[in-house]
Amino acid sequence: MKYHFKIHKEKNLYWAEGVEIHWANAQAKTLEELGRNMEEVLELCLEEPESSDLILPLPDPKVKGNNIITVRVKPNVALASLLRRQRLLAKMSQRSVAQKLGIKHISQYQRLESGKMNPELETLQKLKRTFPKLSIDSVFA
């Protein structure tokens, strides 16, 4: 999963604004540092608190232009974000998804949505059955 940032330069400072996630902004003195800062701010935006019902926009593969940079999301964060998004769109609670997946303790499901768990293939298969629109491929794009 890759999001886009528009890069700007002012005197001795670089700054970037998120294209899809407009409030994802970063700044730095070097482009290398800016790259790390964009990854960090993007990860923070995608790791919404459990209590939030904000549905974040997906990356737009058509974004192009001058000074546009793509920032890759770590696979565990991408899966967690996509899973949370699908659950919210389906208007399901974490508990109801956990039950549907056959997960006994809700904390195990919460670890999936937090990106702190590396799911087994069987779990991915159950997630895909539960959320047919869940794009596992985009996790690795």
CA distance 18 to 90: 27
In this structure, what token pair is assigned to residue 21?
């996630």
State whether CATH 3.30.420 applies to domain 75-140.
no
Per DSSP, the three-state class of 4 is: strand
CA distance 138 to 4: 15
Single pTM value for the model:
0.87
Kindly indicate the confidence band of residue 115, based on its pLDDT and cuts at 50, 70 and 90: confident
Question: Among all chains, which residue has been given the structure tokens 């491929």?
Answer: 137
Q: For residue range 72-83, what is the model confidence (pLDDT) as tens digits?
A: 999 999 999 999
CATH number of 2-72: 3.30.160.250
d(CA 4, CA 24): 10
- Residue 68 scores a pLDDT above 80: yes
CA–CA separation, 82 and 140 (whole Å): 12
Q: How far apart are CA 1 and CA 61, in angstroms?
A: 10
Tokens of 81: 């974000």
- Asked whether the predicted pLDDT for residue 98 surpasses 90, the reply is yes
- Residue 81 near residue 52, CB atoms below 8 Å: no
pLDDT tens digits along 7-56: 999 999 999 999 999 999 999 999 999 999 999 999 999 987 777 788 88
pLDDT of residue 92: 93
Domains of the chain, by residue range, sit at: 2-72, 75-140
pLDDT at 13: 96
pLDDT (mean) for 65-71:
94
- At 139 the pLDDT is 87
Mean pLDDT of 92-108: 92
Residues ≥6 apart with Cβ < 8 Å to 93: 87
